[in-house]
Amino acid sequence: MKPEYDFSAGKRGAVVPSAPGKTSVTIRIDNDILAWFRDEVDAAGGGNYQTLINQALRDHIAQEWEPLELALRRVLREELPTYLDSQSKSE
């Protein structure tokens, strides 16, 4: 190591700037929640748990604002085939 370093050309701020459309924030997430997201990424063969958290938040927002008619149609599409299949087996 040098006895002295020249920081006269140094700049304040993040070492790596955030990508466009991204904001760096500090939040506190429960350990078990963070572990779940990390485990999901590992099980998928790698990736970024932050991207997975973003997607989970987007999915939640989309469901929160889903109009009732669309929610009913979605539930029917998802559940009706299972119901009809169980009815045909019981006959």
Tens-place pLDDT, residues 18-66: 889 988 889 999 999 999 999 999 999 999 999 999 999 999 888 877 7
Whether residue 14 is contained in a domain is answered as no
Whether residue 48 is contained in a domain is answered as yes
Whether residue 56 is contained in a domain is answered as yes
Whether residue 11 is contained in a domain is answered as no
- pLDDT for the residue numbered 77: 94
User: Tokens at residue 18, please?
Assistant: 């955030």
Residue 81 has pLDDT above 80, yes or no: yes
Whether residue 20 is contained in a domain is answered as no
Whether residue 84 is contained in a domain is answered as yes
Structural domain span for residue 77: 31-90
User: In total, how many domains does the chain have?
Assistant: 1
- pLDDT for the residue numbered 11: 83
The residues, ordered by sequence, that sit 6+ positions from 34 with a Cβ below 8 Å of its Cβ are 49
pTM of the prediction?
0.55
